[in-house]
Amino acid sequence: MNAYSKDNIPEALIQAAKYISEEKLKKAEPILRDYLMEYPMDVNAMKLLADIGIKFRAYKDAGYLLTRALDLSPEYDPARLSYANLLYKRQLPFEALKHINILLEKEPNNNQYLTLKAVNLALANQHDQALTIFEKIIKDHGVKNNQLHLSYGHTLRAVGRLDEAIDSYKSAISSKTGYGEAYWSLANLKTYKFTESDMKSLHVLLNDKDCKIDDYFHLLFALGKAEEDAKNFESAMAAYRKVTP
């Protein structure tokens, strides 16, 4: 429902998209709200504003925008993908899978769609089906990224394949330096013992001025577990106290 093509996108949408790519969401949001007041049928603007809402966990507002966009333009796949992602975040895997399957009918080998299907199957406790898809993406398609390997590791852990889960978490770490959630996941595996090399890496990462706050607290927890594994109990408690003061 847009009266423009990709060659003459309105400046407001270009600016909003630029702010979103720079994580300046509070600058993008009013631009999109003002734009939609003037052009209330623009599905691209609805989708962009909904994506901001998802990041702010304003799921109800985001859901309204995305369902409205899909009512107006059922073939608008980016909105359908965002809506499936929203349903996943709301822990509604079966509803999400309906939309993902529509997308996969058009692009059966799209790795983004396949990954979202796998994590929703895992959420629905259909772990064997999820693992089949994860392994197709990783082994057959050769994809490697931190979130993919983290999710694959979680699913392997759920079915008791702990050694493979550890390998997957380590692949997540090698895909993204300082990926705190993967270190945290290793720390939560009682069978995994951090090495002296792991501990040195954790100290380096925690002292990095560019370490993001979420990564920082996950890394602190992992450091506590690493110190505990080394029987440095006072240091372990000091790290744990920083996580939960």
Q: pLDDT of 21-66, one tens digit each?
A: 999 999 999 999 999 999 999 999 999 999 999 999 999 999 999 9
pLDDT above 70 covers what percent of the chain? Answer: 99
Q: What is the DSSP string of 199-232?
A: HHHHHHHHT-TT--HHHHHHHHHHHHHHHHHTT-
User: For residue 235, is pLDDT > 80?
Assistant: yes
Q: Report the percent of the chain where pLDDT is more than 90.
A: 95
| pLDDT score of 210 more than 70 | yes
At residue 245, does pLDDT exceed 70? Answer: no
Alpha-carbon distance of 118 to 127, in angstroms, equals 8
Of the pLDDT bands very low, low, confident and very high (cuts 50, 70, 90), residue 68 is very high
- DSSP codes joined into one string, 144-195: --HHHHHHHHHHHHHTT-HHHHHHHHHHHHHHSTT-HHHHHHHHT-TT----
Decide if 110 contacts 79 (C-beta within 8 A). no
Q: Do the beta carbons of residue 116 and residue 96 sit within 8 Å?
A: yes
3-state helix, strand, coil in the chain (%, to 5): 75, 0, 25
In this predicted structure, the answer to whether residue 13 has a pLDDT above a threshold of 90 is: yes
Would you say 36 and 2 are in contact if contact means Cβ atoms under 8 Å apart? no
Per-residue confidence band for 193, with pLDDT thresholds at 50, 70 and 90: very high
pTM for the model stands at 0.90
pLDDT band of 2, cuts 50, 70, 90? confident
DSSP state string for 81-93: HHHHHHHHHTT-H
Average pLDDT over residues 73-90: 98
